Amino acid sequence: MKRGLLIFVLGLFLISSFAFSFESVVSNSSIVPTASAQTTVRRRRHKRSFWQKHRDKLTVGAGAATGALIGSAVGSKKAAAIGAGTGAGAAALYTYKLRKRHRRVRRY
């Protein structure tokens, strides 16, 4: 008795699962995309601040100014010029090679 009931319930389960799978295949194959689904969404960018527009140049300039300050504190005008060049080079290396520029990961 229990075995017959179990076979009957499993049979109903298998028949219903096939019915749902055939229904989903038929309905997905007949869908035609509408014009609104084919249009691209354009996102407007917010106005960028002065820092966001000139971040790289400001970072290199700040490095050069810091190097010049340290050089002038240590020695003469020649030391300040060497410090400015070294500071600008180090800041440029950081800005263009070491800093992570794109922190967000694009998902397509």
Decide: residue 35, CB within 10 A, 0-12 exposed, 13-18 middle, 19+ buried: exposed
Q: Determine the pLDDT at residue 69.
A: 95
What value does the mean pLDDT of the chain take?
77
Q: Is the pLDDT of residue 10 over 90?
A: no
Of 87 and 39, more confident: 87
Confidence band for 82, pLDDT divided at 50, 70 and 90: very high
The dihedral formed by the CA atoms of 61, 62, 66 and 68, expressed in degrees to the nearest 10: 20
| CA 49 from centroid of its chain's CA atoms | 20
